[in-house]
Structure 1
Amino acid sequence: MDASRIRAGLRSAAVAVPLCAAVLLAGCSNPVSPARKGGPTAQAALPMVADDLQDRYQRVIKDVLPSVVQLQAGQALGSGVVYDDRGHIVTNAHVVGTEKTFKVTTASSEEPLSASLVYSYPEQDLAVIKLDRVPAGLRPAVFGGSDEVEVGQIVLAMGSPLGLSSSVTQGIVSATGRTVSEPGDSDGTGATLTNMVQTSAAINPGNSGGALVNLDGRVIGIPTLGASDPGMEGGAAPGIGFAIPASTVRTVAGQIISSGKVTDSGRAALGVTVRTVVDDGYRPAGAAVVTVQAGGPAAKAGLRAGDVITRLGDTPTGSGTELAEALAEEEPGARTAVTYQRSGTAHTAQVTLGEQ
C-alpha cells in the first residue's frame, strides 16, 4: 500500500458513518433491561445515550480546538498543534517544507501571527516552529501516550482541510503499529514512519500537522498520511489515514525544543542514500547506493557508490522503500548482514548499524 501526504492538493479519507449507531446500540444493551425487548425504557435510553455522546464530542472540541492552528508556509497551507505556553507549535516537516518563516492563525486570533522555524526533522516528518510573539490566552494541547490508544476507540481529527480552519471530523482508531513510507522525490524515497496510528477519521488536504484527539481531550497523534490506491479514481483510498503517535511527537519535539535538534532518534541507519533500480523486465531489483557517508556503517563495511543492496538480514530489499522499511525494524548498534551486487557479483558484508 502506498501512502500520500495530506496537505493542499493531496489525498483524503472517508468517515466510518455507521460508527455512532454501533456505539449507541452498545451503550443501551442490558441483559435484564426492557431495552432488550424494545420497551419504553429502550425508547427513552437511546436519545439519552445520543445526547451524552454529543455532549462529550462538543466538550472535547471546545477544549482542544483552540490548541489547533492553521499554518501557512509559503503558498502551502497545513495545520499545527500548540505544544507549550512559550509559543512552540508542532507540525509535519512536509508542511514547513524549506520555509523558515510562517503565518499562523489561531482559533482566537483575528490576524495571522508570525512564527519562525526551530528545527525540521524530515526523517520522522516532524517539525517545531515558534511564534515570534506569544498572544495572551494561548492554550497548549495535552498529549497522550501510546497506552491510551486502542483499536475501536472514537477519535476526532482537527485541522484546516482545504483551508477551512477549525474543522473537525470523526472516526475510530482502525489499527496501531503500522509502518508506512511517504512518497519521495524523483531521486529517492520518502521517510519511512513506524508505529503509526491508522484511523477512519476523514483526513483531507490541509489536515497534515493537526490533531487526532480521543474523547478524553488528549492528542494521540498528528495526522500525516492518507493511503492511496493507483487502481482507484483519484488515487485516494477512502477511510484509511495515518497519524504519528503522540509518544513519538513528544520525544522528537522535546529534543528539538531543549537542544535545537534531534539528538537521539532511536532509528537505525546504514549511512547511505539510495535509489531503486529495475531489471530487464522493469521490475524493482534493489536499492542502488548513490552516496556513502564517510566513516558511516556502510563505508566501514566496504560498501561504495554503485553497489545494489538486495537484502538486509533475512529481508529482501527490492527497492529503496523496502530497504527503509527493513531498517525501521532494526535498532541502532545492531549487527546485521547486508547482501549486495557489485559488477554482477553477489557479496555479503556484516554491518553494525548507526543512528539516523
Structure 2
Amino acid sequence: MYGSRTRRLLLPLSAGVCAIALVGGCSDSSSGSGSGSSSPSDSSSAAASSGDGNDLQSDYQSTIKNVLPSVVQIVAEEDLGSGIVYDDKGHIVTNAHVVGSAKTFKVTTATGSEQLTASLVYSYPDQDLAVVKLDKIPDGLKPAKFADSAKVDMGQIVLAMGSPLGLSSSVTQGIVSATGRTVSESRSGGGTGATIGNMVQTSAAINPGNSGGALVNLNDQVIGIPTLAATDPDLGDSAAPGIGFAIPSSTVTNIADQIIKDGKVTDSGRAALGITARTVVDDNFQPSGVAIVSVTAGGAADKAGLKAGDIITKLGDTDITTMNSLSTALASDKPGQKVQVTYDRDGDSKTVEVTLGEM
C-alpha cells in the first residue's frame, strides 16, 4: 500500500518506456512582417489557442467535480491508502495490499464530513484487489463509473485521484503512456507479489497513498486503479518520475463483481500450470530455470506428463529462468490455451504441449 509501507516495482534496465514528444508551432519567417510584429490572423490564432486552453481546464475541473466524490481514503491499522465507491450498497474496491491482513477499516469520503467504518468482504492478492463494505451508508454516496479498459489508448489524458502522502482528495494529471504492461509487485514490505497483466502505464504522479484510488479519463470514467510506481535502482530505489501502473478497469469490475456476488473469486481468468516450483541456478549461480517441486493431481502439468524434478526452461518462445519470468509469461495466456513447455529431465531437453488450467 502507498501508506507507511510503499509498494514499488523494480524495472529491469531493458524495460522500454514510451516517450511522447510535443512539438510547438514555429512562425514562417518568409511570411512574417518582422520580429515583434503581429497580424490579425496571429491574434485570432492566439485567441483560439486561449479558448482551447480554457476548454481543457474546464474539462479537468468538471471531471474532478464529478469523480472525486467517489474516491475515499482508507485507513487499515496504521497504514493508509485509497478506494473507489463501487455501488450504492456501500461496496468499495481497493488494492489487496491496502487492506493487508486487516478486517476492519476507517473510511473518509471526499467531503471529509464524517469518518465511517467498513469491513472486509474479500481480498484477492493474486490480482492485488479487494472489496470492503461500509457498515453505514451515508447520504449521497456516489458510485464511480468504470470504462471499458480495452478502449484505453496511448496519449489519452488521465487524472490520478486519491490520498498521496495522506493528503486526501488530491489529484495529479498525465497521459496514458503505454498499455498492456505485465508487471510484478515485490513481496517485501507487505506486498502481495502479484504478477498482473494488461496494466495501464501512466505519467500521472503515483505516490504513497494513491494505491487503490482512481485513474480517470476526461469522460468521468475510471480506467484503472493506481497500484505500482516504478523505482530506479541507479537512484537507490527511489521513485522513477512519471512511470506508474494501474490495474485496468475491466479486470477490476470482473473481480469486484465476483467478490460482491459470491464472497470470493470463482473465475480468475488467469492461466496456470498447476505446479509448485522454485528457481534454480546454474554452475555460475545464475538463474537458469524453474524446477517443479510438485504437481497438482489432475492439473495442467499432471495431464501433460510433467513431474517433480523437471526443470522448465521455456514457455512457448519465452525463456524461463526464474519464477517471476514464468509468472509473467503465464499472465498473458488464458485458461484452455495450448502452449509448448520445454523442460529438462535427467539432463535431456524435452518439449510437451500443455493445455493450461486456471489459477
Q: State the TM-score, normalized to the length of structure 2.
A: 0.85
Paired residues, number: 338
Alignment CA distance shift 1:86-1:178 (3 Å): same
**What are the equivalent positions in structure 2 for 1:195-274 lying under 5 Å apart?**
195-274=198-277
Q: CA deviation at 1:250?
A: 1.2
Contact kept, 8 Å, 1:209 with 1:222, in 2: the verdict is yes
Q: CA deviation at 1:36?
A: 9.4
Read off the aligned partner of 2:322 and give its amino acid letter: S
Q: Does 1:123 align with 2:126?
A: yes
**What are the equivalent positions in structure 2 for 1:138-153 lying under 5 Å apart?**
138-153=141-156
Q: Secondary structure at the match of 2:44?
A: helix
Structure showing greater relative contact order (alpha-carbon pairs closer than 8 Å, 6 or more residues apart): 1
Q: CA deviation at 1:293?
A: 2.6
Contact kept, 8 Å, 1:69 with 1:210, in 2: the verdict is yes
Q: Does 1:165 align with 2:168?
A: yes
Q: Which runs of 5+ in 2 are unaligned?
A: 10-18, 26-37
Q: Does 1:275 align with 2:275?
A: no
Determine which of 53, 71, 82 is the counterpart of 2:56.
53
Contact kept, 8 Å, 1:67 with 1:141, in 2: the verdict is yes
Alignment correspondent of 1:353: 356
Q: Does 1:309 align with 2:312?
A: yes
Rg: which structure is higher?
Answer: 2
Q: Secondary structure at the match of 2:155?
A: coil
Q: CA deviation at 1:7?
A: 4.6
**What are the equivalent positions in structure 2 for 1:172-211 lying under 5 Å apart?**
172-184=175-187, 190-211=193-214
Q: Which runs of 5+ in 1 are unaligned?
A: 27-34
Q: CA deviation at 1:189?
A: 8.8
| Structure 1 Cα separation of the partners of residues 107 and 275 of structure 2 | 36
Q: Secondary structure at the match of 2:145?
A: coil
Read off the aligned partner of 2:295 and give its amino acid letter: V
Q: Secondary structure at the match of 1:72?
A: strand
Q: Does 1:323 align with 2:326?
A: yes
Contact kept, 8 Å, 2:227 with 2:247, in 1: the verdict is yes
Q: Secondary structure at the match of 1:177?
A: strand
Q: Alpha carbon RMSD of aligned pairs, Å?
A: 2.9
Alignment correspondent of 2:6: 10
Following TM superposition, the consecutive aligned residue runs of length 4 or more in structure 1 with deviations greater than 6 angstroms are 35-38
| Deviation string, structure 1 residues 65-95 (Cα, Å, up to 9, x no partner) | 1100111122221110000000011111121
Contact kept, 8 Å, 1:256 with 1:262, in 2: the verdict is yes
Contact kept, 8 Å, 2:85 with 2:144, in 1: the verdict is yes
Q: State the TM-score, normalized to the length of structure 1.
A: 0.86
Read off the aligned partner of 2:131 and give its amino acid letter: V
Alignment CA distance shift 1:260-1:140 (3 Å): same
Q: CA deviation at 1:8?
A: 3.6
Q: Secondary structure at the match of 1:253?
A: helix
Determine which of 84, 87, 107 is the counterpart of 1:84.
87
Read off the aligned partner of 1:55 and give its amino acid letter: S
| Deviation string, structure 1 residues 21-42 (Cα, Å, up to 9, x no partner) | 959x79xxxxxxxx99872223
Contact kept, 8 Å, 1:11 with 1:204, in 2: the verdict is no
Alignment CA distance shift 1:12-1:317 (3 Å): closer
Alignment correspondent of 1:30: none
Contact kept, 8 Å, 1:8 with 1:78, in 2: the verdict is no
Q: Secondary structure at the match of 1:39?
A: helix
Contact kept, 8 Å, 2:225 with 2:248, in 1: the verdict is yes
Alignment CA distance shift 1:175-1:322 (3 Å): same
Alignment correspondent of 1:32: none
Alignment CA distance shift 1:99-1:266 (3 Å): same
Alignment CA distance shift 1:245-1:189 (3 Å): closer
Q: Secondary structure at the match of 2:187?
A: coil
| Structure 2 Cα separation of the partners of residues 141 and 36 of structure 1 | 48
Alignment correspondent of 2:30: none
Q: Secondary structure at the match of 2:302?
A: helix
Alignment CA distance shift 1:235-1:289 (3 Å): farther
Q: CA deviation at 1:314?
A: 2.6
Contact kept, 8 Å, 1:201 with 1:239, in 2: the verdict is yes
How many percent of aligned residue pairs carry the same amino acid? Answer: 64
